[in-house]
Chain A
Amino acid sequence: MEKILVGLKRVVDYNVRVQVKSDGSGVETDGVKMSINPFDEIALEEALRIRERGEASEVVVVSIGSSDAQQQLRTGLAMGADRAILVETASAIDPLTVARIFKSLIERENAELVILGKQAIDDDNSQTGQMLAAIWERPQATFASELTFADGTARVTREVDSGLETIEIDLPAVITVDLRLNEPRYVKLPDIMKAKKKPLDLLSMAELGVETAPHFKETSFEPPAGRQRGIMVEDVAGLVAALKDKGLV
């Protein structure tokens, strides 16, 4: 296969405990550490391994958003991606529009495979890959934990609620990845230096000819209803008594 596209979303870092702004207008992102969505890092790692096995010739990382996302793309290039594309948008963008952008990039780049994270850890939507596959009219293999290729097809093991499901899909296709597919490599300093010389193209929605999908209005944000800290018991007898009290054993 020629080319693999990988999506890298810039999100609030996994370790940050997100706070809702006191006026309910959003979540606090000022001065918060930003990173590549962890699932997207796994997607990139897989694409790099496919290329390193000689099963693909080029890995292109794509991000959509403000110019700040160049940071995450440079990290992707340092991990080993060949090129990067940033589609610049001023405001937050919805999954269907993201899917349309990827569809347009697939045509532009003539890509055969798109690998994405199964969800972004900010909006937890888990929609983009499936939507892209739908409008591209191609197969989707979501929640992948194992992946092999043969004769223009991919065999994908998927983590589903009831266990592990294996499907076979024809290429081209969209694959979204789960946690246990691989462990992403660490970036080494010389690679960061090298990444600075790799191409990073800027594109606009207009250049791609993409129209924005109907957007939801986000009318308010609130913190979740908290659970109260309960009682501490001293020993097993105390635990069993407390459970009996609640009629649970």
Chain B
Amino acid sequence: MAKVLVVAEHNGETLNPSTAKCVACAAQIDGAEVDIVVLAGAASGPAAEAAQISGVNRVLTVERDENDVAIAAVLAPQIVALASDYSHVFGPSTTFGKDLMPRVAALVGVNQVSDIMSVEGSHRFKRPIYAGNAIVTVEAADDSAVVATVRTASYQAPEGGNSAAIESVDVTVELPTHTRFVELQTGQSDRPDLQAAAKVVSGGRALGSEENFDLIYKLADKLGAAIGSSRAAVDAGYVPPETQVGQTGQIIAPDLYIAIGISGAIQHITGIKDAGTIVAINKDEEAPIFEVSDIGLVGDLFNIVPELTDTLG
């Protein structure tokens, strides 16, 4: 029988929604028993949230001072120590999971299944390649451990309302000190998180300047939306890198995605394929973004966006 260990992503206080999406993926494996492990300095907050996710059997907590911030080289050996009781170890394909899970896989001695988008069997999965331009079905040997990341945009978080048992476990492996956390700079913002937001307003190079991005912020605030951007806008310095959506940025699946002044390179489109409704506003009617948008409007964003913001008021 499949036993899946999901590695929780959290900030020490709350659980990242990516964890519940990994549980949703794990639950697609027939008869899977799903546990979550919370590695933390103090695990009680994230663990309590994890225990509520429906479909979770147990929540394991590993509390050590070294786990206060997530460092892949520190977390990986602890996960490997626990992994021997499991057939599968899953983590999210966020930067947290992308950094950590291959390190786990290598220590287990297997390749990683990156970005699972659907489960076709206990050892058979679909995943995107070439910026999502092709989907490949990969199959691991039946008797092989599976270490994988889950493409979170492909899954909905399961309901809450569960009350799984929380068990503290000791993992007595030696941990390296060669990697030290210095600081985390986050764009201080009251806006919703890009990964979790139901609505995202995204701006591209056509905005022309950091100041002009104000138009995007105003519309986003009116909608209660998170801010996204194209690579071109980030490269031009209009917005910080954590807003970038696409193959090399964040892959998201909001209910509503509004692309403003974004032409729609394939590398960008791959980040929004699973959005509910895509709206495109662009002055070039030939822009590829219109090929994938549900609602398109051709025109000058500098007229359209303020008018839209006012109309929604």
Interfacial residues, chain A to chain B (CB-CB below 8 A):
12, 17-20, 27, 94-96, 99, 118-119, 121-135, 137-143, 145, 155, 158-170, 173, 178-180, 213-224, 227, 229-240, 242-243, 246, 248-249
Contacts and interface: CB of A to CB of B under 8 A. Distances in A.
Given A12-B130, A164-B241, A217-B139, 9 more contacts: A27-B133, A127-B105, A142-B72, A158-B95, A164-B242, A180-B241, A224-B134, A231-B295, A248-B277
A170 B176 CA distance: 11
A163 B311 contact: no
Contact of B128 (A96, A124, A133): A124
Contacts of A118: 248
Contacts of B131: 121, 124
Nearest to A245: B295
Contact of B312 (A159, A227, A234, A249): A249
Nearest to A121: B131
Contacts of A123: 114, 129
Nearest to B241: A159
Contact of B294 (A94, A155, A217, A230): A230
Interface size range on B against A: 35 or more
B171 interface: no
Nearest to B199: A248
Contacts of B199: 248
Contact of B136 (A95, A99, A218, A231): A218
Which one of B110, B112, B140 has the highest number of Cβ atoms from chain A below 10 Å of its Cβ?
B112
A163 B235 contact: no
Interface of A is mostly: mixed
A131 B103 contact: yes
A200 to B, nearest CB: 28
Contact of A165 (B112, B115, B176, B184): B184
Contacts of B184: 160, 162-166
Contact of A220 (B136, B241, B292): B136
B106 A214 contact: no
9 cross-chain pairs, A with B, having the tightest CB-CB distances, nearest first:
A230-B294, A131-B106, A130-B102, A163-B186, A134-B106, A127-B102, A166-B182, A216-B138, A18-B130
A170 B180 CA distance: 9
Contacts of A128: 102
Interface of B: 11, 71-73, 76, 94-96, 98-107, 109-115, 124, 128-141, 144, 176, 178-187, 194-195, 199, 223, 231, 234-235, 240-242, 247-248, 250, 255-256, 266, 273, 277-279, 281, 290-299, 304, 307-308, 311-312
Nearest to B125: A216
A194 to B, nearest CB: 31
A96 B106 contact: yes
Contact of A145 (B76, B241, B273, B311): B241
Nearest to A94: B111
A238 B180 CA distance: 54
A143 B96 CA distance: 11
A35 to B, nearest CB: 14
B111 A160 contact: no
Nearest to A14: B267
Contacts of B124: 219
A127 B103 CA distance: 8
Contacts of B101: 130
10 contacts: A127-B105, A139-B73, A140-B72, A140-B179, A162-B11, A214-B144, A224-B134, A234-B297, A242-B295, A248-B255
A15 to B, nearest CB: 9
Contact of A167 (B182, B250, B277, B297): B182
Nearest to B298: A232
A180 B234 CA distance: 9
B247 A125 contact: no
A163 B189 CA distance: 11
Contact of B278 (A12, A145, A220, A227): A227
Contact of A127 (B112, B176, B194, B247): B112
B185 to A, nearest CB: 5
Nearest to A163: B186
Contacts of A119: 248
Which one of A99, A139, A216, A249 has the highest number of Cβ atoms from chain B below 10 Å of its Cβ?
A216
Contacts of A235: 297, 299
Which one of B109, B223, B235, B308 has the highest number of Cβ atoms from chain A below 10 Å of its Cβ?
B308
A155 B96 CA distance: 19
Contacts of A137: 176
Contacts of B293: 229-230
A134 B103 contact: yes
